[in-house]
């Protein structure tokens, strides 16, 4: 039994192996006890897959564990659940009960939320809204539309009235792209008031 179980021997035995099934000697399976029992992995078959100790199910019953002697215990989760958490929480692109809802701007090819330009409020109690990455120049609710010239480094991109992206310019800078000073300001940072002559 490859030192991973006991043989049912003797005149009353049938020659089959009874594999060890405990935390000290490991959780073994197979005719000759050469494989890990379901939901266990590692060279000694003594490492439980994520979720087994809490729920008795690998990956909390929401995926498949890469188990066995050569396995690494990594969970391959059903859609919506995060493998980084052993399928315990929603992945970065899903939210709601059962992690069944996709976040705004979901990109199927990469399983990314927010058109790849932001972070989603994910989780089973979240609402799936996006916060676009700061400095990315994206500002719509799904982070799919970029502001003109990324607000030239002098403003913040935000969602406009018609699912477009508009710049909220710093003081002294003018829309639409915060590149130029407002009418009554000048200077590199648009902080110098324009001098008004006697003729206006």
In tens, the pLDDT along 149-181 reads 989 999 989 888 777 899 999 999 999 999 999
**Whether the predicted pLDDT of 10 surpasses 80:** no
Mean pLDDT for the chain overall: 91
Helices assigned H by DSSP within the chain? 52-55
> Quick check: 15 pLDDT over 90?
no
| The model scores a pTM over 0.85 | no
pLDDT at 197: 62
On the question of pLDDT at 76 being above 70, the answer is yes
Rounded to whole angstroms, how far apart are CA atoms 188 and 80?
Answer: 48
pLDDT band at 68 (very low <50, low <70, confident <90, very high): confident
Distance in angstroms (rounded) separating the CA atoms of residues 120 and 114: 7
What's the burial of 66, exposed, middle or buried (CB within 10 Å: 0-12/13-18/19+)? middle
């Amino acid at each position: 039994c490859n030192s991973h179980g006991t043989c049912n021997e003797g005149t009353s035995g049938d020659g089959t192996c009874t594999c060890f099934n405990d935390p000290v000697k490991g959780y073994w399976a197979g005719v000759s006890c050469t494989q890990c029992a379901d939901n266990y992995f590692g060279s000694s078959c003594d490492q439980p897959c994520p979720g087994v100790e809490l729920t008795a199910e690998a990956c909390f019953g929401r995926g498949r564990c890469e188990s066995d002697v050569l396995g690494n215990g990594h969970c391959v989760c059903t859609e919506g659940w995060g493998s980084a958490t052993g399928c315990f929480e929603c992945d970065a692109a899903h939210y709601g009960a059962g992690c069944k809802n996709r976040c705004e701007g979901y990109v199927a090819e990469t399983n990314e939320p927010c058109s790849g330009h932001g972070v989603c409020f994910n989780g089973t109690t979240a609402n799936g809204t996006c916060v676009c990455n700061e400095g990315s120049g994206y500002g719509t609710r799904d982070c799919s539309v970029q502001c003109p010239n990324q607000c030239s480094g002098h403003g913040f991109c935000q969602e406009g009235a018609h699912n477009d992206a508009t710049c909220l310019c710093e003081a002294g800078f003018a829309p639409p792209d915060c590149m130029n000073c407002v009418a009554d300001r000048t200077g590199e940072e648009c902080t110098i008031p324009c001098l008004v002559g006697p003729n206006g």
